[in-house]
Structure 1
Amino acid sequence: MRNDSRSLPLTPEERWGELGLYGARGMSGGEALARQLDDRANGQLPSVNTPHGLAIRLRYLTWDSRGDQWLRGAGITATDRTIARWKDGQQRPGLANLKKIDRAFWTCRRAHLTEYYKRRLWDDGRGTHIEIHPIDQKQVESSRRRELRVRRITVRRQWAPIVDAWSSNDYAALDDLWQSIVHDLGSDHSAYSYVSHLGFGV
């Protein structure tokens, strides 16, 4: 028998029980955390497929002394001259390179925001309130639905590892951290392993 419910990763069945088998919809808490952080980093950014969105990304990626380091790290092998033409709008990258540029942008963006997010969400020890919206049960037969309500919790100590896991795209770590958060909800904490939405009170 497992003595500590947080000592090992939980399977989806352990996290949610059998309800997910009957049509409940949502995402893991770790994914929801990542989406909230991504949404805040996005700032209504245009798609990389638009000229403006592409230009924003290329300027952001090459503005400092590191030059095209982020682009090279994402696997772009185009010449410096070609990259300069992309930046000037004289040439458009192919689809594969557009995807790599977008990936490079988000890797760079997360790295730049990591320390800011840690400070902002930690808020000098006051933490940040999270509003947890439960899984969507509209497609679940009424006899199998669980009575779940919106829950609110203040997260304090976990923000540094949460942001680090988000920055490195470590969704397994985010899910584990989410389990430690919802464990404080009491006996029905497993019902909030999957959620429909999270709101941050900042």
Structure 2
Amino acid sequence: MENDSRSAPLTPEERWGDLGLYGARGMSGGEALARGLDDRAGRQLPSVNTSRGLAIRLRYLTWDNRGDQWLRQAGITATDRTIARWKNGQQRPQPANLKKIDRAFWTCRRTCLAEYYKRRLWDDGRGTRIEIHPVGQEQVEPSRRRELRVRRITVRRQWAAIVDAWNSNDYAALDDLWQSIVSDLGSDHSAYSYVSHLGFGV
């Protein structure tokens, strides 16, 4: 994002390393944590490329006293008149601006939800139970497959740091936090550095 100090998310290829060397399919635990929070932040949200998806994002970004600050922080230099035409559906942003609008929406959305997520996932010290689904091994040769099962663990102390890393787009920190979580699984913990997905609710 232009004029944004947050680091852009790494691509799956940059994060997965040699995960797919033998055909396993999955993502790092940090990526899965971020996806889980993103899914709940934008569940059933239409794409920014649709008229409805664009309208939802622009309405959210300029709601109440927010003005156009989030759009400007995203590097959008269009005039106020042009932005008004976008909001009224009279003009469609160029693809580059659509991407910036989407980035601005997610930055704003994460910031607005961060404190709620911390409280909800901490749950007065009770924490939140995570269901860990191992990587898919359908494409792995039988001789190289590992016996992996769905694991369940209650996460308590890491939620504030997880949400802060998610809000800051810090995938390296999320991966480190994930390693601290799966270390509680015992000697088999390294088999869950990568997962197919995580199940948890907020």
Give the structure-2-normalised TM-score. Answer: 0.89
In structure 1, what residue type is equivalent to 2:191? A
Structure 2 stretches of 5 or more lacking a match?
A: 1-15
The secondary structure found in structure 2 opposite 1:197 is strand
The secondary structure found in structure 2 opposite 1:33 is helix
Aligned-partner Cα distance in 1 for 2:120–2:196: 24
The aligned residue for residue 126 of structure 1 is 126
User: CA contact under 8 A between 1:19 and 1:144: conserved in structure 2?
Assistant: no
Deviations along 1:76-99, one digit per CA (max 9) or x if unpaired, are 000011001111111111110011
The aligned residue for residue 3 of structure 1 is none
The aligned residue for residue 95 of structure 2 is 95
The aligned residue for residue 171 of structure 2 is 171
Aligned-partner Cα distance in 2 for 1:195–1:162: 17
Aligned-partner Cα distance in 2 for 1:154–1:81: 50
Aligned-partner Cα distance in 2 for 1:171–1:39: 16
State the Cα distance separating 1:156 from its structure 2 match: 0.3
Deviations along 1:4-35, one digit per CA (max 9) or x if unpaired, are xxxxxxxxxxxx9x874211111000000000
Structure 1 stretches of 5 or more lacking a match?
A: 1-15
Cα pair distance change 1:185/1:66, threshold 3 Å: same
The aligned residue for residue 46 of structure 1 is 46
User: CA contact under 8 A between 2:29 and 2:194: conserved in structure 1?
Assistant: yes
State the Cα distance separating 1:51 from its structure 2 match: 1.1
Cα pair distance change 1:19/1:105, threshold 3 Å: closer
Aligned-partner Cα distance in 1 for 2:62–2:69: 8
Aligned-partner Cα distance in 2 for 1:189–1:24: 17
The aligned residue for residue 4 of structure 1 is none
In structure 2, what residue type is equivalent to 1:93? P
In structure 2, what residue type is equivalent to 1:66? R
Deviations along 1:107-140, one digit per CA (max 9) or x if unpaired, are 0000000000000000110000000001111111
State the Cα distance separating 1:183 from its structure 2 match: 0.3
Pairs within 5 Å for 1:182-201: 182-201=182-201
User: CA contact under 8 A between 1:131 and 1:201: conserved in structure 2?
Assistant: no
The aligned residue for residue 72 of structure 1 is 72
State the Cα distance separating 1:188 from its structure 2 match: 0.7
Pair member with larger Rg: 1
In structure 2, what residue type is equivalent to 1:139? Q
The secondary structure found in structure 2 opposite 1:130 is strand
Aligned-partner Cα distance in 2 for 1:159–1:100: 28
Aligned-partner Cα distance in 1 for 2:110–2:73: 14
The aligned residue for residue 3 of structure 2 is none
The secondary structure found in structure 1 opposite 2:196 is strand
State the Cα distance separating 1:201 from its structure 2 match: 4.6
The secondary structure found in structure 2 opposite 1:53 is helix
The secondary structure found in structure 2 opposite 1:186 is helix
In structure 2, what residue type is equivalent to 1:164? D
State the Cα distance separating 1:65 from its structure 2 match: 1.8
RMSD, matched Cα? 1.6
The aligned residue for residue 161 of structure 2 is 161
Aligned-partner Cα distance in 2 for 1:19–1:138: 14
Q: Percent identity?
A: 88
In structure 1, what residue type is equivalent to 2:91? Q
